[in-house]
């Protein structure tokens, strides 16, 4: 599950993570993205649900994935593109969930204009850890700015991090190929961003 | 995407005509057809100016034997409903099925209401197919054309937003080309719905639905998941998936489920025999929104003299979107199953976390001309007056710090209601409308207000695109429905032709000038029009980035930054303009206001409004050689 702020790229991420298994006959994929009005700087999310069927295994409709929305606690990976957005959809998270927090803050208008306090990052992380012990924080925006001069590769950096959890039913090579086939420009930078995110996750995990 | 799957099915079905007014969650169907229009044989596509135009055009093509597809969001059906009530009486044609895709938005994520269009079935007498997922959306669209042609009725396909915006795999079929042309054959007894003909057509239509009611099994869109329990479930659409997963999570696998694909009309025998053959003592109806199926099912059971314990909207909410957890809790309550400690703990923790998060309402994008217009309005009026809001991006003017939207009702009602108030109030009256909405429903209201001499100011926020819904063209964009250049309609000329005397066009990026213009308008009698004309900043930014990437063209761009020496920290740009690209940071214990360059779209409004010359501009010319 991906949560974030409209304009951050949650739709693009969701689409890539669905596209990557389209050719795989053993994986059924479903999921959805917030579109329309909520997109404009509001709270958005994308869901991606893979149902892996081993070849020869009989399909059991009663025990399969149908809903595009994730039932309580069922997310394997929870990517939050913005810290307070991480707090909003934790009903998808349980102890089995790997949480990846992008620590770049986008203060909502309620904070900027109306003076509502933005919670301390430390408190947010503690809250996340209360839901699942497996929390890794990286700043994909700053990594992207430093390496490429813009924020556009933050999404790919976080996809790289998600791959590094080892929980996705896809290989690094498959993801890289999907990026090459589907992203229209800055391809090499995006491929580099994937690796950056992958390494950053492993590094943060080792330091944890 | 579901919308793309339905588009593919429509192309395979050999549609020769398609029309739409864009609206989330259905908009990508029209967008895909627009992009592909030139590659589809014998195909005509249009972005209509509203849903009534769209359905009328599609009916015309259907009547001359061309398969037609008309797509819209749920509330669009209200606009289309006037012609549709009578079109359904006249029917379609043997080779020209008419299929309407009307996509509901449970949870009203992108709409003014979550209206339940299924009830139109009773008014219009129109069969409704409801797919549960992407493969069904594809399959049902093909079946909808067959149904429309074999029963001579328009058919509604009703994919929820979660189907439109979901993904899935489909098996592609062959594309059947549409015939190049059709010929209209007059038939008074079919098409001229006046008096006697109208009654005869209505009787005929009721007869078709009655016939279909008995033969729904031939469509093969309803099915049963077998089970031995004496409790059964009837469900449809996305609610089916939520139900199956909820039962899985509750560890219940023996409940028989009747999954309906055709949700109107119901086959009495099918429902009655589901209850009888499974010896059901209890029946649960799980559906999104109101209790439409529940109502139909109660009728069917009453007619069959069947008495069972029935649950539906007594347990499941009739407002807001369903999900697996809501259905799980509802089913647990009826079936008397414990939800489990871990589930309760997750819900408790997540509710607590949610309460920690400051609210985040959608707002205008960085550089949005609407932000500048609302800022100017706030400055010019000091929020004294009445402010009619409308549908589209400009609805977001309701948010802090502008708070300049006093109501949102439907397309065009900002102006319609404002002009009513203007005749009976001495307050300054304003109404906002975007250019898409102006063409859709605003022109008639503008003429009405001018003809009746309403004393008010209409602000037409012309950003030249249907912004919220995904940047489809409007008649003032200069691009046709299929992407060719056309002469854009000048809104100024339209309102002038309607008789408006006081018309001003201002670029909202010249914010101080706009403030003065609004103030001017307040001293004038009668109906005033201010056209705040500036293109959507998202589109400008996209073109800029494209030029950079393709290294073509000559680009000149002005960059802005805030000079910490000159900035007085008055926070006008941060809190009154509230541009999301302007940030407040703390550096060495001091507050610093700065522009976040990657988010800035270079509109320059911060420079325009800075009272202390704290914002500085630098013009940079980028010359890109082609190749």
What pLDDT shows up at residue B625?
Answer: 46
Q: Is the pLDDT of residue B598 over 90?
A: no
Task: Report the share of chain B in percent with pLDDT over 70.
Answer: 98
Would an 8 Å CB–CB cutoff place A122 in contact with chain B? no
Over 70: is that where the pLDDT of B626 sits? Answer: no
Region A123-144 average pLDDT: 97
Nearest CA in chain B to A184: B549
| CATH number assigned to the domain comprising residue B391 | 3.40.50.970
Q: Same structural domain for residues B184 and B53?
A: yes
- My answer on whether B138 and B226 are in the same domain is no
Mean pLDDT for all residues in chain B: 95
Which residue among B193, B214, B235 closes a domain?
A: B214
| Beta strands B582-587 and B44-47, pairing class | unpaired
Closest to A87 (Cβ–Cβ): which among B356, B470, B574?
Answer: B356
Residues B232 and B166 reside in one and the same domain: no
Strands (E), B435-525: 456-462, 465-466, 472-473, 502-506
CB A72 within 8 A of CB A91: yes
Q: How far apart are CA B593 and CA B579, in angstroms?
A: 12
What is the pLDDT averaged over residues A153-159?
Answer: 97
Element (H, E) at B493: helix B491-497
Q: Are strands B456-462 and B429-434 parallel, antiparallel or unpaired?
A: parallel
Scored b (16 or more CB within 10 A) or e, A68-84 reads bbbbbbbbbbbbbbbbb
Work out the mean pLDDT of chain A and round it to a whole number: 94
Q: Which member of B241, B359, B362 has the closest CB to residue A38?
A: B362
DSSP state for residue B400 in the 8-state scheme: T
C-alpha distance from A38 to closest chain B C-alpha (Å) = 6
pLDDT the model gives residue B218: 83
Pairwise CB contact (< 8 Å): B358 & A41: no
Is B544 part of any domain? no
Decide if A79 contacts A100 (C-beta within 8 A).
Answer: yes
Beta carbons of B324 and A71 less than 8 Å apart: yes
| Chains A & B: contacts with CB separation below 8 Å | 197
> Is B356 within the bounds of a domain?
no
- Burial group, residue B78, by CB count within 10 angstroms (0-12, 13-18, 19+): middle
Q: Is residue B432 part of a domain?
A: yes
Is residue B597 predicted with pLDDT exceeding 60? Answer: yes
Torsion of CA A109, A115, A121, A126, to 10 degrees: -110
Q: Answer yes or no: do B47 and B121 share one domain.
A: yes
Whether A108 contacts chain B with CB within 8 A: yes
Tokens of B214: 């008995």
B215 pLDDT band (50/70/90 cuts)? confident
pLDDT band at B546 (very low <50, low <70, confident <90, very high): confident
Beta-carbon separation of B349 and A113 below 8 A = no
Going from N- to C-terminal start, the domains of chain A cover: 2-207
Of A88, A108, A124, the CB nearest to B354: A88
B543-580 as b/e: b if 16+ CB within 10 A: ebeebeeeeeeeeeeeebbbeeeebeeebbbbbbbbbb
Q: How confident is the model at residue B620 (pLDDT cuts 50, 70, 90)?
A: low
Grade residue B109 by pLDDT with cuts at 50, 70 and 90.
confident
Please list every residue in chain B whose beta carbon sits closer than 8 Å to the beta carbon of residue A115: none
Instruction: Name every chain A residue with its beta carbon within 8 A of the beta carbon of B599.
Output: 151
Query: Do B176 and B32 lie in a common domain?
Result: yes
**Nearest residue of B to residue A18, measured between CA atoms:** B167
B31 contacts: CB under 8 Å, gap ≥ 6: B22, B470, B472
- Pick the closest to residue B80 from B92, B70, B65 (CA basis): B70
CA separation for the pair B106, B73 (Å, rounded): 12
Q: Which residues of A touch B248 (CB under 8 A)?
A: 62-63
What is the reported pLDDT for A37? 59
Closest CA to A63 of B144, B84, B253: B253
Domain extent at residue B156 = 2-214
For residues B341 and B289, membership in a common domain is answered with yes
Determine the Cα–Cα distance for residues B350 and B133; give it in Å rounded to an integer: 28
What mean pLDDT is predicted for residues B46-54?
Answer: 98
What digits encode the pLDDT tens for the residues B164-199? 999 999 999 999 999 999 999 999 999 999 989 999
Question: Does residue A65 sit at the B interface (CB-CB below 8 Å)?
Answer: yes
A106 near B CB under 8 A: yes
User: What integer pLDDT is reported at residue A33 of this predicted model?
Assistant: 87
Flag whether pLDDT at B441 surpasses 70: yes
- The whole-angstrom separation of Cα A162 and Cα A44 is 19
Question: In the predicted model, what is the mean pLDDT of residues B16-40?
Answer: 96
Q: Count other Cβ atoms within 10 Å, centred on residue B435.
A: 26
In CATH, what number is assigned to the domain containing residue B238?
3.40.50.920
**What is the pLDDT, as a whole number, of residue B231?**
98
CB-based contact B166 A31, cutoff 8 Å: yes
**pLDDT band at B551; cut points 50, 70, 90:** confident
In this structure, what token pair is assigned to residue B302?
A: 């009453």
Residue ranges of alpha helices (H) inside B215-308 are 237-250, 268-277, 292-303
Contact B24 A131 (CB under 8 A): no
Q: Do A91 and B347 touch (CB under 8 A)?
A: yes
Alpha helices in B13-133 (DSSP H): 27-36, 51-63, 76-90, 120
Within an 8 Å CB–CB cutoff, is residue A121 touching chain B?
no
Cβ pair A40:B364 closer than 8 A: yes
pLDDT band at B623; cut points 50, 70, 90: low
Among all residues of chain B, which has the CA nearest to that of A6?
B362
On whether residue B358 sits in a domain, the answer given is no
Asked whether residue B285 falls in the same domain as residue B328, the answer is yes
User: Residue B587 domain-assigned?
Assistant: yes
Distance CA A184, CA A77 (A): 27
Residues in B closer than 8 angstroms to A94, CB to CB, are: 342, 346
- Residue B238: count of CB within 10 angstroms of its CB: 29
Q: Which two tokens stand for residue A126?
A: 């503690």
Q: Which residue of A has its CA nearest to B395?
A: A37
CA-to-CA distance for B479 and A12, rounded, in angstroms?
Answer: 26
CA closest to B466 among chain A residues: A36
User: Which DSSP string do the residues of B411-438 spell out, in sequence order?
Assistant: TTHHHHHHHHHHTT--S-EEEEEEHHHI
The answer, for A166 touching chain B at a CB cutoff of 8 Å, is: no
Does residue B22 sit in the same domain as residue B97?
yes
Percentage above 90 pLDDT, chain A: 86
What is the tens place of the pLDDT at every residue in B286-313? Answer: 999 999 999 999 999 999 999 999 999 9
Give the sign of the dihedral formed by CA B22, CA B25, CA B26, CA B29.
Answer: positive
How far are the Cα atoms of B118, B125, B215, B521 from residue B204, in angstroms, in the given order?
22, 11, 17, 56
How do B465-466 and B472-473 pair as beta strands? antiparallel
CATH number 3.40.50.150 is the correct assignment for the domain at A2-207: no
> What confidence tens digit (pLDDT) does each residue in B397-416 have?
999 899 999 999 999 999 99
pLDDT for residue B627 is more than 60? no
Residues B30 and B50 in one domain: yes
The pLDDT score that the predictor gives to residue A36 is 64
Number of domains in chain B: 4
Under DSSP, is residue B380 helix (H, G, I), strand (E, B) or coil? helix
**A131 vs B240: CB contact, 8 Å cut-off?**
no
Model confidence band, residue A34 (pLDDT cutoffs 50, 70, 90): confident
- For residue A163, which of A121, A125, A205, A133 has the smallest C-alpha distance? A205
- Count how many residues are written for chain B: 627
Domain membership of residue B251 (yes or no) is yes
Distance CA B472, CA A147 (A): 34
Q: Are A101 and A128 in contact (CB under 8 A)?
A: yes
Phi, psi of A139 (to 5 degrees): -105, 90
Residue B363 lies inside a defined structural domain of this protein: no
Could you tell me the CA-to-CA distances from B327 to A50, B242, B348 in Å, in that order? 21, 7, 18
pLDDT of residue B556: 74
| Mean pLDDT for the stretch of residues A53-58 | 82
Question: Which residue, B481, B514, B539, sits at the end of a domain?
Answer: B539
Contact B324 A185 (CB under 8 A): no
Of B132, B169, B578, the CB nearest to A112: B578
User: By the 8 A CB rule, do B209 and B265 touch?
Assistant: yes
Taking CB atoms and an 8 Å cutoff, what residues of chain B touch A5? 360
A158: number of CA atoms within 13 Å, CB side?
Answer: 37
Specify the pLDDT at position A163. 98
Q: Which residues of A touch B169 (CB under 8 A)?
A: 22, 28-29
Nearest CA in chain B to A38: B362
Cα–Cα distance for residue pair A151/A122, rounded to 1 Å: 24
Distance, in Å, from the CA atom of B272 to the CA atom of B73, rounded to the nearest integer, reads 33
Q: Do B147 and B280 lie in a common domain?
A: no
pLDDT, one tens digit per residue, over A178-201 is 999 999 889 999 999 999 999 999
ipTM attached to this prediction: 0.95
Q: Would you place residue B468 in the very low, low, confident or very high pLDDT band (cuts 50, 70, 90)? A: confident
Query: What is the rounded distance in angstroms from the CA atom of residue A96 to the CA atom of residue B429?
Result: 56
Mean of pLDDT values over B488-494: 98
Which pLDDT tens digit goes with each residue over B334-357? 999 999 999 999 999 999 999 999
Verify whether the Cβ–Cβ distance B575 to A113 is below 8 Å. Answer: yes
Q: Which residues contact B555 (CB under 8 A, 6 or more apart)?
A: B544, B547, B548, B621, B622, B623, B624
Whether residue B299 sits in one domain with residue B171: no
Final residue of a structural domain among B324, B351, B378: B351
Judging contacts by C-beta atoms under 8 Å, the chain A residues touching residue B349 are 90, 130-131
């Amino acid at each position: 599950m991906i949560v974030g702020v409209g304009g951050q790229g949650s739709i693009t991420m969701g689409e890539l993570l669905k596209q990557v298994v389209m050719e795989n006959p053993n994986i059924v994929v479903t999921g959805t993205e917030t579109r329309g009005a909520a997109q404009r700087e509001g709270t958005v999310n994308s869901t991606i649900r893979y149902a892996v069927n081993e070849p020869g295994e009989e399909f059991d409709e009663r025990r399969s994935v149908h809903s595009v929305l994730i039932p309580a606690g069922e997310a394997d990976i929870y990517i939050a593109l913005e810290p307070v957005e991480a707090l909003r959809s934790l009903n998808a998270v349980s102890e089995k969930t790997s949480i990846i927090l992008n620590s770049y803050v986008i203060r909502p208008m309620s904070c900027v204009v109306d003076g509502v306090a933005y919670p301390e990052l430390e408190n947010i992380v503690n809250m996340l850890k209360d839901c699942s012990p497996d929390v890794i924080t990286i700043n994909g925006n700053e990594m992207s700015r430093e390496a490429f001069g813009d924020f556009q590769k933050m999404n790919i950096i976080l996809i790289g991090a998600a791959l590094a959890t080892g929980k996705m039913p896809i290989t690094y090579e498959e993801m890289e190929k999907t990026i090459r086939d589907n992203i229209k420009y800055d391809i090499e930078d995006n491929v580099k961003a994937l690796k950056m995110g992958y390494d950053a996750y492993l590094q943060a995990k080792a330091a944890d | 995407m579901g919308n793309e799957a339905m588009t593919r099915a429509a192309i395979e079905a050999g549609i020769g005509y398609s029309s739409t007014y864009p609206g989330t969650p259905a908009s990508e169907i029209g967008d895909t057809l627009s992009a592909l229009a030139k590659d589809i044989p014998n195909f005509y596509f249009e972005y209509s100016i509203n849903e009534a135009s769209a359905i009328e055009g599609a009916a015309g093509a259907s009547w001359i034997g061309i398969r037609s597809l008309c797509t819209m969001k749920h509330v669009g059906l209200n606009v289309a409903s006037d012609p549709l009530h009578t079109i359904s009486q006249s029917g379609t044609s043997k080779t020209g099925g008419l299929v309407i895709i009307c996509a509901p938005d449970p949870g009203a994520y992108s709409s003014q209401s979550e209206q339940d269009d299924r009830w139109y079935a009773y008014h219009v007498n129109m069969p409704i197919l409801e797919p549960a997922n992407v493969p069904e959306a594809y399959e049902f669209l093909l079946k909808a054309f067959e149904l429309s042609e074999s029963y001579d009725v328009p058919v509604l396909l009703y994919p929820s937003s979660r189907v439109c915006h979901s993904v899935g795999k489909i098996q592609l079929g062959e594309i059947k080309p549409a015939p190049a042309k059709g010929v209209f054959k007059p038939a008074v007894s079919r098409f001229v719905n006046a008096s006697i003909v109208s009654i005869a057509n209505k009787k005929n239509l009721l007869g078709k639905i009655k016939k279909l009611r008995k033969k729904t099994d031939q469509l093969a869109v309803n099915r049963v998941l077998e089970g031995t329990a004496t409790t059964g479930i009837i469900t449809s659409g996305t609610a089916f998936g939520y139900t199956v997963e909820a039962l899985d999570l509750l560890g219940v696998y023996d409940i028989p489920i009747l999954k309906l694909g055709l949700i109107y009309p119901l086959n009495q025998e099918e429902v009655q025999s589901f209850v009888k053959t499974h010896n059901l003592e209890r029946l649960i109806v799980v559906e999104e929104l109101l209790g439409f199926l529940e109502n139909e099912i109660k009728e069917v059971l009453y007619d069959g003299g069947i008495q069972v314990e029935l649950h539906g909207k007594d347990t499941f909410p009739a407002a807001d979107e369903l999900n697996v957890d809501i259905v799980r809790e509802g089913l647990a309550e009826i079936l008397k199953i414990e939800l489990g400690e871990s589930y309760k703990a997750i819900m408790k923790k997540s509710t607590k976390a949610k309460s920690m998060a400051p609210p985040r309402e959608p707002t205008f994008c960085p550089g949005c001309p609407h932000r500048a217009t609302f800022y100017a309005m706030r400055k010019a009026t000091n929020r004294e007056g009445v402010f009619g809001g409308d549908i589209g991006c400009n609805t977001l003017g309701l948010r802090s710090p502008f708070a300049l939207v006093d109501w949102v009702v439907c397309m065009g009602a900002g102006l319609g209601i404002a002009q009513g108030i203007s005749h009976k109030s001495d307050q300054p009256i304003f109404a906002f409308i975007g250019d898409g909405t102006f063409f859709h429903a605003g022109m008639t209201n503008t003429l009405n207000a001018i003809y009746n001499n309403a004393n008010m100011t209409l602000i037409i926020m012309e950003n030249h695109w249907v912004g919220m819904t995904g940047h489809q063209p409007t008649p003032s964009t200069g691009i046709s429905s299929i992407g060719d250049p056309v002469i854009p309609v000048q809104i100024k000329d339209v309102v002038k032709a309607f008789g408006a005397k006081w018309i001003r066009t201002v670029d909202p990026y010249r914010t101080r000038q706009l403030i003065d213009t609004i103030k001017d308008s307040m001293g004038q009698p009668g109906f005033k029009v201010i056209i705040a004309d500036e293109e959507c900043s998202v589109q400008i930014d996209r073109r800029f980035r494209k030029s950079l990437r393709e290294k073509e063209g000559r680009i000149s761009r002005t960059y802005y930054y805030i000079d910490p020496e000159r900035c007085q920290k008055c926070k006008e740009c941060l809190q009154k303009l509230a541009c999301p690209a302007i940030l407040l940071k703390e550096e060495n214990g001091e507050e610093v206001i700065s522009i976040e360059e990657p988010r800035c779209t270079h509109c320059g409004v911060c420079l325009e409004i800075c009272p202390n010359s704290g914002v500085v501009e630098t013009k940079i010319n980028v010359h890109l050689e082609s190749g």
